[in-house]
Amino acid sequence: MITLSEENYLKTIYHLENQQGSAVSTNAIAEKIETKASSVTDMVKKLADKDFINYKKYQGVSLTKKGKNTALNIIRKHRLWEVFLVDKLNFSWDEVHDVAEQLEHIKSPKLIDELDAFLEFPTHDPHGDPIPDKDGVISKSDKIKLSKAQINTKCKFVGVNDSSSEFLKYLDKHQIALGCEITVIAKESFDDSMTVLVEDKKLSISKTVSNNLFVKTI
């Protein structure tokens, strides 16, 4: 039996491993979860004993096949619940993360399969993140960060790198919504800020913002 805390660790390790493309240090896990490194060491030893992760001192942590499948299942539940909350219960996209964090730990596979069918098998959550299918297959995307787009490039906004409530409210304030067209007009070499057209509205955005917007060129 896996605990709620163990599930949270596996999900965190999965995200860090994907971001870094390599084994994850216990310090990186501690920073992400906001806990002490010693607590992380205790937990990863437990997870290794259960064959969820590979762990050797000073060599970092990586998920086993069992651990990856478990993490993807948790992520699948989280993202399906986010779709349900936005599409069926009228939550806004900046409100759903914390609620989905609680709902993702429900153990019933039948409930999640029925939820998936009820939602007509969505492929992405309200923040543009792909939803793993029941076999753990997750679609790959050719998306890039807006900060990497060239001048005069037209893009479609497809996701966020930062799903915090504060950032999503910022996007709402400036009417930047998934699916909208963004055209890069100019870049400032001094601070990497950008001038963009969001649909037909001119907007200046910081490097922090452009680094947290995923787009596809069109």
* Stretch 17-29: mean pLDDT: 90
Residues 6+ apart with CB under 8 A from 205: 193, 194, 196
Whether residue 120 is contained in a domain is answered as no
Percent of the chain with pLDDT over 70: 100
Query: How many domains would you assign to the chain?
Result: 2
* CB-count burial class (<10 Å; 0-12, 13-18, 19+) for 144: middle
* Stretch 78-90: mean pLDDT: 97
The count of other CB atoms within 10 Å of the CB of residue 169 is 14
142-179 tens-digit pLDDT:
899 999 999 999 999 999 999 999 999 999 999 999 99
Residue 193: CATH number of its domain: 2.30.30.90
For residue 43, give its domain range.
4-63
Q: How far apart are CA 128 and CA 130, in angstroms?
A: 6
pLDDT for residue 58: 81
Whether residue 88 is contained in a domain is answered as no
Average pLDDT taken over every residue of the chain: 95
Model pTM score: 0.88
pLDDT band (50, 70, 90) for residue 123: very high
Whether residue 186 is contained in a domain is answered as yes
